[in-house]
Each structure stands twice: as structure tokens, then as C-alpha cells.
Structure 1
Amino acid sequence: MEVISSGVMGMAPLVMSLLVVVVGLVLWFFVRRASARSNEQIELLEALLDQQKRQTALLRRLCEANEPEKEASAEQDASAQAAQEDEDDGFIRLVAER
């Protein structure tokens, strides 16, 4: 009996260390897998950011190209409004006072 129990007791530390190594390898596998996925997501987000920067630059160029038209239309609106006010003043002037 003593031989069997001493053999089992001698194997226990070996089995425990083997079990710790297996659990460590499994954990290492999942950590590496999560890290690889997060790196892929970071690359995709950086690509999206780059595309958004390009789109923003294009939109700014389009807005800058359309600004002179807006200024011209704003000037026309202002001159039309001033002309309308002049006409209104002229109409009031024509009304007889009491």
C-alpha cells in the first residue's frame, strides 16, 4: 500500500503543473485571439477615419466653390430688399396726410 500511495503522491505535483500549463495555454489562445480581432477593428476604424477626412475635405471644397454664388445671391437679395423698402417709402409719401 505504501508503494502505491507514494507513487500517487509523487504524480500529484506533476499532474497539477500539467493542468496549470494546459489552462495557461487555453487562456493565452483566447487572449491572442481577442488581441488579433481588436487589431483588425482598429485598422478598420482607421480606414473609416481616413475616408471621413477625405469626404470632409471634398465637402469643404464644394462649399468654398459655392460660396461666391451665395454671396452674389445674398447681395441680390439685399439690393432687392432695399429697392422694396424704397418703393414702400415712395408709396407712403404719396398717401395724403390728414
Structure 2
Amino acid sequence: MGELQNSGLLNVASLAISAIIMVIGLVLWFFVNRTSSRTNEQIELLEALLDQQKRQNALLRRLCEANEPEEKPVAKAPEAVAEEDEDDFIRLVAER
């Protein structure tokens, strides 16, 4: 009779341990799944931000190009040309 009680007790203990492991596994799965879904939401938000920033950069480039003043070539004054010629001549003279 003692053998029957021991085997029944082992079955109940085995069943209880299995139930506890299953509950722990479910709790862990819940938190991992929750973290994963939050991470996916954050990734989607970051991708949306990146897309908006790319659009803003493109708009800013267009605005900068539209507001950029046109450069006109400026002719050098004859005095500046003469000074440059003098500097060139001085560079040609060897120093001792």
C-alpha cells in the first residue's frame, strides 16, 4: 500500500512541477512578446521620423537654392592687376 501512495505522490509532484514550469514559461513569453511589440512600434516611429527628416532636408535644400543670390563676375580694377604684376616680379628675383 505504501508503494501505491508513493507513486501517486510522485505523479502529483511531477504534475505540479510541470504546471509551475508552464506558468513561468507563459509569463516569460508574455513579457518577451510585449517587449517585442513595443520595439516594433518604436522602429516604425523612428522610420516615420527618418522619412519626415528626409523630406524636410529636401525642402530646405530647395529653399536655400531658391534664396541663393546669383553671383556676377566682378572685373578686377586696373590698380589691382598692376599690384599683382609687381608681386609676381618680386617673386622672380632671387634673394641672397
Q: After TM superposition, is the score higher than 0.5?
A: yes
Offset at residue 76 of structure 1 (A): 5.2
**Distance in 1 (alpha carbons) for counterparts of 2:37 and 2:43:** 10
Select which of 20, 33, 58 maps to 2:27. Answer: 33
Structure ranking higher in helix proportion = 1
AA at the equivalent of 1:57: D
Structure 2 match to 1:46: 40
Gaps of 5+ in 1: 1-6
The separation in 1 between residues aligned to 2:57 and 2:47, in whole angstroms, is: 15
Identity, % of aligned positions: 7
CA distance in 1 between counterparts of 2:34 and 2:22 reads 18
Residue in 2 that maps onto 1:56: 50
Q: 1:39-85, CA deviations, whole angstroms, 9 ceiling, x for partnerless residues?
A: 11111111111111111111011000011234457x759x48x75xx
Q: TM-score if structure 2 supplies the norm length?
A: 0.71
Unaligned stretches of 5+ in structure 2? 90-96
RMSD over aligned CA atoms reads: 2.8
The code of the aligned residue for 2:56 comes to L
Q: Does 1:20 align with 2:20?
A: no
Give the TM-score normalised by structure 1: 0.70
Corresponding residue of 2:59: 65
Consecutive aligned runs of 4 or more in structure 1 exceeding 6 Å deviation? none
- Partner amino acid for 1:48? Q
Aligned residues: 86
